[in-house]
Structure 1
């Protein structure tokens, strides 16, 4: 029988990866599309917010989010009054993984769209297609490999996230402990066998993710 102390971090990490995959597919692509528009109002603000987790230390980012989403925080206090708890919950773990990996999808998508030939979009408009139809039928197919590569990186990042998760999730055994936090805890306790076991599991999962994404991308070329 599998030890619950081993199973729970694995299941939480897989659940987090699944949630993050969907959120990044929707919001990562959406934000990348919006940021590719130079005349978008507050474009620089959105760009800064999306990019922040990529350039700011994770533990500091987590602390800032803790101040905002904690019970005494501007956002957290309002949510707490509605019975919604984010800090030290699985929701906090999901938010941490989502924010840390978001720029890994958004920025490549933004760059890919900006480098697309305008003639392709203009041809679609001439044929009477709307901007939405052009995005779905022209833009998305052309940047499909970029999206897949970004999703692979962001989901992989979710498995390795520690700093923000420590702040928002609290590293609670059986509740908010992910595989990476389990490795951290094992090393801290001097249990290197356990740390090696979780590291091996993480390696198998991430390698499986890599080959799955390459297969989905189709063809013989690497998604990168």
Structure 2
């Protein structure tokens, strides 16, 4: 069975989305992890904010963003006047994937940073590094494996996002229909064969990302 033209469009859109959201995962995840571990004295509020997408139902987050960024809100009207629209657009899909996947980057990198000896940080400061420079030059390179692992996990989560994407993107055929939404549409219309094929594609992509995650994990040393 071949993919329909709409399914190909959804596949291309998901690939484009992955290209744009991956650098954002890496940069924002690193900055937030730095703020949680080194930058803030009491980061509880930020930690809770980062964790919300994990604990809250995606459709609730999507509705909140739709209410906040829609044309009826002051912020939404302002953004539209500036030429930035997050509702029923590619930008909305990007925001949905970004919010859904970001906690996986932050939490993975945060855990890795917290296991590093505090002496490393103090030594870097003693040698003349500023706190932020010490993070980028010392801590982040050592935790590079965890950082990349978090980005890959976030990408897998973002590609499979439905709830937030459905609310913000609107599931417009040929415009904001991602691969995960195309599966939802195929099942809704009773085209189970197309849905199975799309599921195999999306599942294969995510499986490939998980295999990369496993490859990045440090190998335990063996006693001879």
Give the structure-2-normalised TM-score. 0.90
- 1:146 counterpart residue number: 146
CA deviation map 1:179-204 (0-9, x unaligned): 11111101111110000010111122
Residue number in structure 2 paired with 1:127:
127
* Distance in 2 separating the partners of 1:219 and 1:102: 23
Correspondence for 1:29: 30
Moved more, 90-99 or 202-211: 202-211
Question: CA 1:88–1:209 in 2, change beyond 3 Å: closer, same or farther?
Answer: same
* CA distance in structure 2 between the aligned counterparts of 1:86 and 1:117, rounded to whole angstroms: 42
User: C-alpha root-mean-square deviation of aligned residues, in Å?
Assistant: 2.0
What is the alpha-carbon distance in structure 1 between the residues aligned to residue 49 and residue 167 of structure 2?
A: 19
- Stretches of structure 2 that go unaligned for 5 or more consecutive residues are none
Q: How far off is 1:138 after superposition?
A: 1.3
Query: Could you list the runs of 5+ residues in structure 1 that have no partner in the other structure?
Result: none
TM-aligned CA deviation for residue 38 of structure 1: 7.2
Q: Aligned residue for 2:86?
A: 86
Deviation at 1:49, TM superposition (A): 2.1
Aligned to 1:13: 14
Residue of structure 2 equivalent to 1:110? 110
Match runs of 1:202-217 below 5 Å: 202-214=202-214, 217=216
The DSSP-based 3-state class of the residue aligned with 1:36 is helix
Given that 2:169 and 2:176 are in contact with CA atoms closer than 8 Å, whether structure 1 keeps it comes out as yes
C-alpha contact 2:105 2:147 (8 A) present in aligned 1: yes
CA displacement, residues 26-71 of structure 1 (integer Å, 9 cap, x when unaligned): 0011101101137446x33322221111111100100000000000
Q: Give the conservation status (yes or no) of the 8 Å contact 1:34–1:40.
A: no
Q: For 1:42-53, list aligned pairs within 5 A.
A: 43-53=43-53
Shift of 1:102: 0.9
Q: Determine if contact 1:66/1:167 at 8 Å carries over to the other structure.
A: yes
**1:185 maps to which residue?**
185
Residues of 1 paired with 2:16 and 2:66: CA distance? 22
Count of aligned pairs between the two proteins = 219
Aligned equivalents of 1:81, 1:129: Cα separation in 2: 43
Q: Following superposition of structure 1 onto structure 2, how do residues 49-64 of structure 1 map, counting pairs within 5 Å?
A: 49-64=49-64
SS of 1:173's equivalent in the other structure is coil
Shift of the alpha carbon at 1:213?
A: 4.8
Query: What is the SS of the residue equivalent to 1:37?
Result: helix
Q: Deviations over 1:9-31 (max 9, x none)?
A: 11111111222210010001110
- Secondary structure, aligned partner of 2:86: coil
Alpha-carbon distance between aligned partners in 2 of 1:204 and 1:71, rounded to the nearest angstrom: 37
The corresponding residue for 1:76 is 76
Is contact 2:124-2:134 (8 Å) kept? Answer: yes
Structure 1 length normalisation: TM-score? Answer: 0.90
